[in-house]
Amino acid sequence: MAPKPFAGAFTQQEPIAPEAIAAALRVLESGRLHRYNTVAGETSEAALLEAEYAAFQGADYCLACASGGYAMDIALMAAGLKHGEPVLTNAFTLSPVPGAIVNAGGRPVLVECTRDLVIDLNDLARKADGARFLLISHMRGHLADMDAVMAIAERHGLTVIEDCAHTMGASWNGTKSGNFGHAACFSTQTYKHMNAGEGGLLTSNDPDFMARAIILSGSYMLYERHGAAPEKHYFEAARLETPNCSGRMDNLRAAILRPQLAVLGRNIARWNDRYRTIETALKASGLFHLPERPAAEDPVGSSIQFLAEGITADEACAFMAEAKALGVELKWFGDADPVAFTSNHHSWRFIADQALPETDRVLSGLFDMRIPLTFSIEDCAHIAEIIIHCGTSLRLKGAA
């Protein structure tokens, strides 16, 4: 017998908290939405967010900008990427990651992923010769062995930039995601760990790098109004040699984000409780492979991924259709056509075709699902029941 259908919405986020709404109203009532539009003695919301996020992250510098993708774009530029230069990145990621490389003038070189959904260290080492940059994507919150990644980077002279859109607040061996490489890029788009609709944060401990990044963001020579910026002398050359490519965060979004940062730790615990509820049930079913989460990894389980290995395209479509009929929205990374936010390297026609047989094998059976905090623990148990029912049904039909 099929479980009762689930009635929740997989794209429904929690409401913006009253204190964030009040902060946003204060900005609206002032009329000073632009980050540099301040009165004497006033520190802008964007500058306050930069200081607070730098403190949260444990980084020297932070820049608030328009999106996580923009943060990756200017990070590569500020790090010295040259036109046409190769940039290594994960084959399992979302299209804005190779898109940022292309937008910054680079050439994406995709590295295979493992069945645990992290970058393949052997393939990374093979492809590292001749490259200067690794934009590592902690896709869907899965952290590779960052000690091993950085050892490869050091051996090959790679500058590492971390895409932490899905790992804000996560850590590896006690070190926060984003604090391994030269710089880290975070997203505050609606479906990430803080919700401003859109937005991004860039962190680094390198003052020369951050000076260039701040000018690239469109500082109008007002870099002294940033909340976590290098000292003035670091801008002396950068301010004249670096183009202004407007991509600033505004005060309205910063005002919405600051109260969310204050409760991020509590929300991470809530996400992980929901993740573990679903993960435990799916593992116990024996139907799927769940990515291994090493003891060194302290993740943020805001989404879940599982593999139905050996599944055909028709079976994958039937599985998703049955789950959807019972109210559970799954994405499939093996689909030949991009669907909403989900795509794979075969549909990224803005980059050169690359042979990635291991990644293709993994993606062919990879399913993905958001876990919004609007779902209760009971909701998550119900969702797992539906996924297991649909998987069991698929196996029985296949056996027949």
Residue 147 token pair: 């000690």
**In what helix (H) or strand (E) does residue 202 lie, and over which residues does it extend?**
strand 200-204
Pick among 3.20.20.80, 3.90.1150.10, 3.40.50.300, 1.10.645.10: CATH of 265-399: 3.90.1150.10
Provide the b/e sequence for 41-52 (b: ≥16 CB within 10 Å): eeebbbbbbbeb
The C-alpha atoms of residue 380 and residue 369 are separated, in whole angstroms, by: 11
Residue 336 has a pLDDT of: 85
Residue 398 has a pLDDT of: 56
- Between helices 264-285 and 377-399, what is the axis angle to 10°? 30
**In what helix (H) or strand (E) does residue 201 lie, and over which residues does it extend?**
strand 200-204
Residue 51 has a pLDDT of: 98
Model confidence pTM above 0.95: yes
Within the chain, all domains assigned CATH 3.90.1150.10 are found at 265-399
* Residues of the chain where predicted confidence (pLDDT) is lower than 50: 399-400
Tokens 């991009």 — which residue? 338
Pick among 1.20.1250.20, 3.40.50.880, 3.20.20.70, 3.40.640.10: CATH of 18-262: 3.40.640.10
**In what helix (H) or strand (E) does residue 176 lie, and over which residues does it extend?**
strand 175-176
Residue 395 has a pLDDT of: 76
Within the chain, all domains assigned CATH 3.40.640.10 are found at 18-262
